[in-house]
């Protein structure tokens, strides 16, 4: 049997209020909403670009358990501008050790910050 290849398709998150979450991700990342082609549910989809998607699944009564090790990461070509954007939106960010308003430089030279969305999910943004 030939080994299949895989590519990243989407990430799905359970959220308390899908409308507030859509607004948050559009405000922070300017993601465009796209049609949910899978069902007629209230799940809403955002495009991450290049055919990749973020699916936000409404679960208003669902307990969401979060830790920083379970996160998703996005890369940007203008890291400093993105940090300024977070500050303008009054979104707190930290390094991996939770030092407020501090970015972290990994051994490989990549800068990164972590912050949480409205449901507590951790998001890492790093430079390319």
What pLDDT, in 10s, does the model give residues 38-55? 999 999 999 999 999 999
The number of helix segments (H) and strand segments (E) in the chain equals 2, 8
CATH 3.10.180.10 matches 10-58? yes
Q: Give the confidence band of 120 by pLDDT, cuts at 50, 70, 90.
A: very high
Tell me phi and psi for residue 86, to 5 degrees: -60, -45
Strand arrangement, sheet containing 122-127: 71-76, 122-127, 111-116, 104-105
pLDDT digits (tens, 9 = 90+) for 56-74: 999 989 888 888 988 999 9
Q: Residue 7: its pLDDT value, please?
A: 84
Task: Please name the helix (run of DSSP H) or strand (run of DSSP E) that holds residue 10, with its range, or none.
Answer: strand 10-15
Instruction: Please tell me the CATH code under which domain 71-127 is placed.
Output: 3.30.720.110
pTM of structure: 0.88
The domain segmentation of the chain, as residue ranges, is 10-58, 71-127
**Model pLDDT for residues 29-38, shown as the tens digit of each residue:** 999 999 999 9
Q: What is the mean pLDDT of the chain?
A: 93
């Amino acid at each position: 049997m030939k080994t299949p290849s895989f590519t990243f398709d989407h990430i799905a998150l359970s959220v308390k209020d899908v409308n507030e979450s859509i607004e948050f991700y559009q405000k922070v990342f300017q993601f465009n909403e796209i049609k949910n082609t899978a069902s007629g549910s209230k799940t809403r989809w955002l495009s991450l670009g290049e055919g990749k998607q973020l699916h936000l699944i409404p679960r208003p009564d669902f307990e969401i358990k979060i830790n920083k090790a379970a996160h998703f990461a996005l890369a940007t070509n203008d890291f400093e501008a993105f940090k300024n954007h977070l500050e303008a939106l009054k979104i707190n960010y930290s390094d991996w050790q939770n030092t407020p308003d501090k970015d972290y430089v990994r051994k490989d030279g990549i800068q990164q910050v972590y912050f949480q969305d409205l449901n507590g999910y951790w998001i890492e943004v790093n430079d390319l």
